[in-house]
Structure 1
């Protein structure tokens, strides 16, 4: 790899790591934000919801838009947006403005994730596979060390540092990207000039994006508001019905439009692919319920400091990183199913261990559950991707990948919703045990799904 290629890799890597880093660092700051703003967990969880809703919408939209606007331009714009959001978030006068900054940050970092891999595929003509694997390390590594970094920053500064720490990464990425990423293809620029705004919005499926966003946000507001107040008011009921209506219109629209935001027709056409995505939703629900729930439990119930919480959470990331290459070799020999079954068993054992925790359990014992979930995440990272490739025809590889990412974000949002509802806005030892029991049941369902699908496949052969 020559110097220019190395510079391109570093600039893209520094940019794309910002999305997983910022989605994971916040996990150890939830308890601190509750104290600062005087909010319960349900209200503060919007700092998680807002980021993932924005990412779920922005990444596929920006991926499409890059064909019109240009990938280099999208990447550089994403860096500018991320810089502005990270600079302004610490100055937020209230929690509402912090949520706005978080949404802007999510959109900016999603712009880089959406085009980062494409930039490497287009401009790295030698050792492309190695280059893509390096980018995967940037993404998985950032997600793995995020809670530890967040814990260190909270220990020595305060929650504002979680945003400020992005600034040197953004600046370095921008300077390198400006020099190393080649200009966009002039032919693409000419094609962009021929498409009207109306055609562009139709091609981007602006109607579908709007209906999807309104439906998802309205339903979350209705559920969380009802849970927080303890009663179903007329306003909450109306908001929930609005969300259901918007999602119903969204589904109808997606089946009719020529360029859907989420191609639902693919699910009907490829049932095996549908099951992969359903399983991926469940996998992410289980993993992120632990990922976001455990730090708040440790800090609010067991009174563990942010730094030591980050240290404990590092177990999760390190086990995940260690398991991934082993999973790759195993899956190459045996296919994804055995690894996915073992992953589900580990999640079941880890969830069961969480359900046994009480106020006298040694804090360090949570490392056992974290190790089980970390290894399972490493197996799932490779195994679910392999299952996706195995069950999606080559001609819809791009569509299948987009649906896969949507399933990831849906599972993440459901995990936060589950945690908020079970905890009733305030973490307690009893609430965390209930969460552990629910996760145990869901993990057992995941085992059944993997074994059932394996039998169905053998029967079909």
Structure 2
């Protein structure tokens, strides 16, 4: 980690990446994974305290996912238009308000509203960070170093490790409401750092009206399409909503192709096939990752019969290995090799799950989790970096938001798949059904990566561009 930081701004070099941006960038980016992970250990005590069944507490997870999946590209577009500073400050203020509302919520649906507010507020951090990285590259005239992109990836993976543990600690200290209250000091820290360190200024031509540049109609149609799709993924029994998906999606495509300043520039996206393939990779990688995290965890406790504490220890190698692999490989610009190894790792893990049973040895389970950490570290990092490299520079924040939307689609698809596979309990046959889905997704990830030669050309172009002055 020290080596990564050292590469960001050499001593006395005013034309390298500004280290003052690192703290607000990292802190803003982890707000979303913090709120995604803390809630996992709070659902049961919330249900008991507010008298809410599991069908209602599930909306605490779904509400944040839906708000974030829709809000990330919208916020990203606003960042592209107005710069990262105002959106970062507004977003983190919403996080503080959402945390306070959750801490005081008298009933489950007020709490769901707080989670939606948290989801919307946490949308700004990651697109703002990607925009600032691009801005520093433009300011210095150098390609921004891989170090800061690696730090973004490692920070979110670290939260995945400590989030549930931190949540348990907070609940033990002050009850489940502390998992919401913790957002208040985090938001205040972001506001102070953001106000003092983030660059001022905007990229938008102020002679152009807000409605013209923002495309409200496109945003509304996008939101309706995506919310309907997410609801179907979360509740397959609501399949009639697919009619809304088709109608709103068609209207969105027609409108965006005619809009002077489209929210989703379909012509640019359609011509950028490598970026679309990267979005697909994000979806597939998230599907495999969350099938493992959701399903494998349940099986460890119910199918294999491990206690929650032992199951947690068995899962740690996934995250520790993932962070280590990301830290080591993050120094290299090369993307295709990372994705190929990551894809192969996912295939191997999926196959190994078929060999697990109710009496499998702990050492074999640990081997599976150790191997699973390799694609965890490589794919998250490589997909993020590919999005940054392949995006239109003027839309890097909205592209980053779209990438996260595809990631959440994969996470929700994995959650639904787990619910179907474990409809009668987290049994070994159910785990094998889940492994089949993972194998199909990981095999498709591998196939499209083998066929994608643009990644190699992208790296070669970067190397030539920075040959004279590597950052």
Q: Structure 1 length as normaliser, TM-score? A: 0.78
Farther-moved stretch of structure 1 (289-298 vs 376-385): 289-298
- 1:10 paired with 2:12, answer no
Q: 1:443 to 1:118 in 2, by over 3 A?
A: closer
Asked if structure 2 preserves the Cα contact closer than 8 Å seen for 1:344 and 1:376, the reply is: yes
Q: Which residue of 2 aligns with 1:96?
A: 109
Q: 1:253 to 1:366 in 2, by over 3 A?
A: farther
Q: Which residue of 1 aligns with 2:182?
A: 165
C-alpha displacement of 1:376: 0.5
Q: 1:310 to 1:164 in 2, by over 3 A?
A: farther
Rounded to whole Å, the distance in 2 between the matches of 1:363 and 1:238 is: 44
Asked if structure 1 preserves the Cα contact closer than 8 Å seen for 2:288 and 2:414, the reply is: yes
Q: Which residue of 1 aligns with 2:409?
A: 410
1:150 to 167, 175, 196: 167
Q: Which residue of 2 aligns with 1:269?
A: 271
Farther-moved stretch of structure 1 (280-289 vs 143-152): 143-152
Q: Which residue of 1 aligns with 2:352?
A: 353
Asked if structure 2 preserves the Cα contact closer than 8 Å seen for 1:284 and 1:411, the reply is: yes
Rounded to whole Å, the distance in 1 between the matches of 2:71 and 2:376 is: 25
Rounded to whole Å, the distance in 1 between the matches of 2:235 and 2:153 is: 38
- 1:424 paired with 2:423, answer yes
Q: Which residue of 2 aligns with 1:321?
A: 323
- 1:84 paired with 2:83, answer no
Q: 1:288 to 1:257 in 2, by over 3 A?
A: farther
Aligned length: 439
SS of equivalent residue, structure 2 residue 126: helix
CA deviations 1:382-416 (Å, max 9, x no partner) are 33345556766778766654543333233223222
C-alpha displacement of 1:344: 1.8
Q: 1:288 to 1:383 in 2, by over 3 A?
A: same
C-alpha displacement of 1:443: 1.8
Segments of 5+ residues of structure 2 without an aligned counterpart are: 1-8, 12-17, 458-471
Segments of 5+ residues of structure 1 without an aligned counterpart are: 228-235
C-alpha displacement of 1:340: 2.0
Q: 1:72 to 1:398 in 2, by over 3 A?
A: closer
C-alpha displacement of 1:305: 5.6
Rounded to whole Å, the distance in 2 between the matches of 1:154 and 1:432 is: 31
Rounded to whole Å, the distance in 1 between the matches of 2:63 and 2:134 is: 30
C-alpha displacement of 1:258: 2.8
1:177 to 174, 186, 194: 194
**Residues 276-425 of structure 1: matches in 2 within 5 Å?**
276-298=278-300, 307-328=309-330, 332=333, 335-362=334-361, 365-385=364-384, 387-388=386-387, 400-424=399-423
Rounded to whole Å, the distance in 1 between the matches of 2:402 and 2:156 is: 19
Q: 1:313 to 1:204 in 2, by over 3 A?
A: farther
- 1:211 paired with 2:221, answer yes
Asked if structure 2 preserves the Cα contact closer than 8 Å seen for 1:31 and 1:300, the reply is: no
Asked if structure 1 preserves the Cα contact closer than 8 Å seen for 2:286 and 2:411, the reply is: yes
RMSD: 4.0
C-alpha displacement of 1:246: 2.0
Q: 1:259 to 1:408 in 2, by over 3 A?
A: farther
Asked if structure 2 preserves the Cα contact closer than 8 Å seen for 1:297 and 1:428, the reply is: yes
**Residues 429-448 of structure 1: matches in 2 within 5 Å?**
429-448=428-447
Q: 1:166 to 1:428 in 2, by over 3 A?
A: farther
Rounded to whole Å, the distance in 1 between the matches of 2:228 and 2:59 is: 13
